[in-house]
Amino acid sequence: MSAQRQLQVAAIQQTCSNDKNVSLATSEKRVRQAAADGAQLVVLQELHATLYFCQNEDTDTFDLAEPIPGPTSERLAGLARELGIVLVGSIFERRMNGVYHNTAVVFDTDGALAGLYRKMHIPDDPGFYEKFYFTPGDATFNDGRSGFTPIQTSVGKLGVLVCWDQWYPEAARLMALAGAEILIYPTAIGWDVTDEPAEQQRQLEAWVTVQRGHAVANNLPVIAPNRVGTEPHPEGVGGGIRFWGNSFICGPQGEFLARADDTEETILHATIDRDRSESIRRIWPYLRDRRIDAYGDIMQRVRD
């Protein structure tokens, strides 16, 4: 197999600060190290420039949002260009007054914006009040593209999704059907510190398992970086969220290629074999055997 069929990828697991410059400096340091160690594709976690601000609802928090292009996107673009890597970052996007998104941005090796993905599934749960802040991404664009459209880069077509999207097999499948070669899930997820250890373990295993399932069901590698560290509630309510890390990279049969722990900042490295998805689909042809003539009811909210 020729060397160019081997793609070196990295996922960054980090803590974050309430000072955007400190968080971005941490991200940049890790990205530089990943590139120095040979990574061609580097993926940052969800909302890596700030603390996870969705633990409460506060209109002043909208001041953190930025347009694209803007200061953070320009910094990430310059980093990708300088290092000659494809870089996936995350931005609290101000699209217009009153419309804000949780947006993943992808920069190619020349620093150009290869594309962006605006989070489609928005949670609204205790400690994760994202519907207050984020408008869901567009189901379709003006040119007819689906919101679940892979982003073409010099290292291949990236099926970029964000955090809560990772629980939905429909999102992964639509990316796969559109030609995605890798599924990518920048994430910010953790435990309520008051949960019992057994419940915490169930939640973690569910998170890992569902994403490995998307890898298996679509014969695609998955990159899932998550943050670490305990972030207190902005109003001092409860103990805040302890982000559980466990970032991982797995292959197209769900096999772990790299996995982090639940406490340490780290850079995960893995080699993705670009030909494995093709070879696996020849022996496990899920896409061939789909009964698309029988799936119409999936478009209903509930089958009565």
Give domain status of residue 134, yes or no. Answer: yes
Give domain status of residue 267, yes or no. Answer: yes
Report yes or no on whether pTM surpasses 0.85: yes
Residue with tokens 């915490």: 200
Q: What is the pLDDT of residues 218-232, one digit of tens each?
A: 999 999 999 999 999
Quick one: the chain helix, strand, coil %, rounded to 5? 30, 30, 40
Residue 3 pLDDT greater than 50, yes or no: no
Report the domain count for the chain. 1
Among residues 178, 243, 181, 246, the alpha carbon closest in space to that of 215 is found at 181
The contacts found for 200-205 with CB under 8 angstroms, 24 or more apart, are 200/244, 203/244, 204/244, 204/246, 204/262
Range of the domain at 177: 3-299
Give domain status of residue 130, yes or no. Answer: yes
Residue 205 pLDDT greater than 80, yes or no: yes
User: How much is the pLDDT for 258?
Assistant: 98
User: Which residues neighbour 259 within 8 Å (Cβ) at sequence distance 6 or greater?
Assistant: 246, 247, 248, 249, 268
Give 148's DSSP letter: S
Residue 4 pLDDT greater than 80, yes or no: no
Give domain status of residue 304, yes or no. Answer: no
Q: What angle do CA 35, 38, 39 make, to 5 degrees?
A: 60
Report the CATH number that the domain containing residue 170 is assigned in CATH.
3.60.110.10
Residue 178 pLDDT greater than 70, yes or no: yes
CB–CB of 47/73 below 8 Å? no
Give domain status of residue 295, yes or no. Answer: yes
pLDDT band at 145 (very low <50, low <70, confident <90, very high): confident
Cβ–Cβ contacts within 10 Å for residue 39, how many?
Answer: 25
pLDDT band at 1 (very low <50, low <70, confident <90, very high): very low
pLDDT band at 5 (very low <50, low <70, confident <90, very high): confident
User: Which residues neighbour 72 within 8 Å (Cβ) at sequence distance 6 or greater?
Assistant: 20, 24, 49, 66, 89, 91
Q: What is the pLDDT of residues 94-127, one digit of tens each?
A: 999 999 999 999 999 999 999 999 999 999 999 9
Percent of the chain with pLDDT over 70: 99
Q: How far is CA 69 from CA 21, 66, 175, 233, in A?
A: 17, 8, 25, 30
- Give the mean pLDDT of the chain: 95
Hey, which residues are catalytic here? Answer: 46, 119, 163
Residue 278 pLDDT greater than 90, yes or no: yes
Q: Within 13 Å and on the Cβ side, how many CA atoms surround 109?
A: 10
What whole-number distance in Å separates Cα of residue 58 and Cα of residue 69? 25
